[in-house]
Amino acid sequence: MIKELNFELKYSRFSIIFQLFIGLSLAILLYQLLSPMWWLVSLILLSISFYFFLKQSRIFQIAYLDQKSWTVAYSSQKIISRVEISKIIDYQLFIIIYFEEAPIKVAIIWFDQLPLQYWKKLKVLQKLH
């Protein structure tokens, strides 16, 4: 039973593709709106923000304890933190989890990070929360 509520997250390829698509769309839109020099500056800023997106700390394991209590293990840190969840929002492709007191206040879990059966269990826990 406890193993079923322990979610080990894989690396999400869909999130990278989604971010690249949004960045490319913004670059095309800004190309039509701005002069070439300002477009180049905005393209550099978009690249820098994408680099920081790739470098941010990610959750690689999340386990349900009770009601609002979860344990979270981050990929960049070797510690496991116990956190309380304030809100969970389901957007079908991803789930956003808001933590009350944690090093990272928001976690995004994409549908391709979990097997389908665990994704459904996480959605059920979201509805119960």
Give bridge partners of residue 108 from the DSSP assignment: 96
Per-residue pLDDT of the chain (129 residues; tens, 9 = 90+): 445 678 889 989 999 899 889 989 999 999 999 999 999 999 999 999 989 888 887 888 888 888 778 888 887 777 788 888 888 899 999 999 898 877 778 889 999 999 999 899 888 888 877
Are the C-beta atoms of 87 and 98 separated by less than 8 Å?
yes
CB-facing half-sphere around the CA of 113: CA atoms within 13 A: 21
Are the C-beta atoms of 1 and 118 separated by less than 8 Å?
no
**Sheet strand arrangement including 69-74:** 6-8, 59-66, 69-74, 80-90, 94-99, 106-110
* Predicted structure pTM score: 0.81
